[in-house]
Amino acid sequence: MSDSGVIPLEEVEIPQLEEYPVTESVKLHGPPGTGKTTKSAARVGRLLKNHDYDLRDVAWCTYRTALADDTLQRLHEWELVDEWELRNRREGATKLIGTAHALGYRLCNGLGDPVEPKHQAAFCAMQDIPFQSPEPWMKTRGELLFDTFYWLKKNLYDPSDSADVVEAPSYEALQNRWPGVDVPEQWARWTEYKREKDVIDYHEMLEKPLERRMSPGTPILVIDEYHDAYPLLAKLAMMWMEDSEIVIVAGDPNQVVNSFDGATPEFFEAVDLPKILLEESYRVPEGQMTMAEAVLSNAHHPPAISPKSTMGDVREYISPAFRYTRDLGWEVPTRGEEGSPGWLVDKYGEDMMFLARTKQQVAGIGAALEEAGILYTSQEDLGGWNTDEAATRRELFNALQKIRGLSPGDFSGWNTGFDAFHGDGDRSVSTAVELEAEEAAELMRLTKSKYHAESRSKMNERASRLRDTGSTLRLRELDKLVEPEFWRVYSQGANSVSNLNKTGGMQEMDTGERRALVRALNRYGESVDVDDISVQALTMHASKGQEAAEVVVYDGVTRTIRQGVRLDDTAEANEWRTWYVALTRASERVHLVRDAFDWTSSFLPGNLLTKTRRLVADGGEQ
């Protein structure tokens, strides 16, 4: 294994290679942790190294941008993608490695820029329709309207046809929030708005290649995560498959969890290629796999695969209560309470993923992590430290960490080209440390002007210039821009936050964000790259393809989900698959947490842990 953890190409075992050589098309059924992407890449790698193909002969289509990036990195480790191609992935030989939307966009020239939320917000504002939700789990009229548009397009319906509109699952909720809404009329207005702004929706990146019958046209085509395909994407993928010589389709019908988007296991099963079941999971231990299969068996017959050789561990807790009100916000468990998010991280470490069924539950978990001062990542609208909404506190966190403990005397006597060091016990701080552009800009904008050596307007100009150029700022260069008193006030870590301006940065820092910043500075002693934050808080749907040593699964579904499961067999099967995905993310332990949210009811059987232990003892037989 390389230093990066990537297994060398020649060491990757390719199942049924003699029966299905790499020159033949195949369908890889990859249950959780079996390495379907690695196996796909190995087949492509052998083709490139041992047969008359090069990288320009490969189109690789995946559902998520992150997996496309991981695939390129893997090919780079195998010396099949060079450094320039890795950095310039949208050009040259790698331009056909990406999401289906990216490939469709690159194949069709002149499509216009992609729609952004600001366009949707502006369109709604023109009609005095609310668009931005006060909370991510609440749907406005505008959001429900766009949900209806996009479901119809993904499922090959026509938003201009009233008979088609009623098929959209969100249409009833839209009517309730907006009585008398005329969706076909709104669709016509939205289409005209896009034309005026020269922007396109993401579904058009799939529709345009279909309309123009444009395929990558490469001899080799890989379609990964095909279990996520919905009707529009599946239709395009089938066309692309017909136009390639060697096709590799990878997915797992038992991990189809987006039936609300139109995804179904039937798309994977309909691919008419020899199917290879990947029979060994490299991630999921026996105990977790047995439990997950017991859950999945409520809707499907799990395939027989070999789990990771270790037994793993499953633990169960009754959670302290999470409560939410619009007026007061979140009341969450403290880190000292057994079973709370803070307690779990303190006890088991930060290689931990928290999973819950809904965004509101995840928001509560995030609030508890912030209460404990724990840095975490999340989906874009759920407040994690990786998100746009957390940009100001993230940049300030790093800036305040980098200047922690410094004083004016630390900047005297340094020589150009040499770092000056200030000794503080067994810790040394380099005054040659660099602030990234955004870190420096936020620090300049949010520190009080009385501590600046020049006017507020000049500091703001410097901050803007740093952002525009992406330049870094050394601390010894910052020292020239501030008064000596600046270091006493702003080098005190968490104690410095009370001296920051409340506005003036990329966004206003409300009381909750300032409190989160203080607690994080108290917990951690140094700056952090967002890519190195290992605690995650996600919905189960967003966890596909992710893993962690420790996974915390919150049992509980809302009344709406419960009713949907009772009324619709398809929804019920999708629900069991969703929990199967959640229970197969851990490489060490699964922590089942119950009774956390009083507006949810239990979904997992109360005797699941007992049943799992009995099944393990009986050799896994149901």
Per-residue pLDDT reduced to its tens digit, 44-77: 999 999 999 999 999 999 988 888 888 999 999 9
Q: How many CA atoms lie within 13 A of 65 on its CB side?
A: 4
Whether the pLDDT of residue 479 is over 80: the answer is yes
pTM of the model: 0.92
Q: Are the CB atoms for 433 and 410 separated by under 8 Å? A: no
Distances (CA, A) of 340 to 343, 476, 596: 5, 42, 9
Q: Is 146 exposed, middle or buried (CB count within 10 Å of its CB: 0-12, 13-18, 19+)?
A: buried
Q: Write the CB contacts of 325 (distance below 8 Å, at least 6 apart in sequence).
A: none
Backbone angles phi, psi at 323, to 5 degrees: -135, 145
More confident residue, 613 or 200: 200
DSSP 451: G
- The pLDDT assigned to 428 comes to 42
Q: Are the CB atoms for 283 and 307 separated by under 8 Å? A: no
Whether the pLDDT of residue 210 is over 50: the answer is yes
DSSP 173: H
| pLDDT tens, residue by residue, 406-459 | 988 787 654 443 344 444 433 344 667 899 999 999 999 999 999 999 999 999
> Which of 197-211, 317-331, 491-505, 517-531 shows the lowest mean pLDDT across its residues?
491-505
Which residue in this structure is represented by tokens 């190995």? 42
Query: Where in 400-518 does DSSP place strands (E)?
Result: 421-424, 427-430, 434-435, 473-474
Averaged pLDDT, 130-143: 91
Averaged pLDDT, 371-393: 94
Averaged pLDDT, 272-288: 95
- The pLDDT assigned to 311 comes to 82
Averaged pLDDT, 499-515: 74
452 - beta bridge partners? Answer: 482
Averaged pLDDT, 282-306: 94
Q: What percent of the chain has pLDDT over 70?
A: 94
Mean pLDDT (the chain) is 92
Q: Are the CB atoms for 10 and 285 separated by under 8 Å? A: no
589 - beta bridge partners? Answer: 313, 550
Averaged pLDDT, 244-268: 96
Sign of CA dihedral 527, 531, 532, 533: positive
Averaged pLDDT, 127-139: 90
Averaged pLDDT, 559-565: 93
- The pLDDT assigned to 412 comes to 67
The tokens describing 410, both together, are 């630390």
Q: CA-to-CA distance for 558 and 570, rounded, in angstroms?
A: 18
Reported as a pLDDT band with limits 50, 70 and 90, residue 89 is confident
- The pLDDT assigned to 621 comes to 59
Whether the pLDDT of residue 3 is over 70: the answer is no
Which residue in this structure is represented by tokens 């499922």? 155
Which residue in this structure is represented by tokens 């040259």? 92
For residue 474, count other CB atoms closer than 10 A to its CB.
Answer: 16
DSSP 255: G
- The pLDDT assigned to 530 comes to 94
- The pLDDT assigned to 309 comes to 84
> Which of 136-145, 292-301, 502-511 shows the lowest mean pLDDT across its residues?
502-511
The tokens describing 36, both together, are 């379907």
CA angle 237, 241, 245 (to 5 degrees): 160
**Which among 111, 108, 107 is positioned nearest to 217, based on CA atoms?**
107
Q: How many CA atoms lie within 13 A of 610 on its CB side?
A: 3
Q: Are the CB atoms for 322 and 333 separated by under 8 Å? A: yes
For residue 66, count other CB atoms closer than 10 A to its CB.
Answer: 12
Q: Write the CB contacts of 601 (distance below 8 Å, at least 6 apart in sequence).
A: 556, 557, 559, 562
- The pLDDT assigned to 66 comes to 86
Reported as a pLDDT band with limits 50, 70 and 90, residue 239 is very high
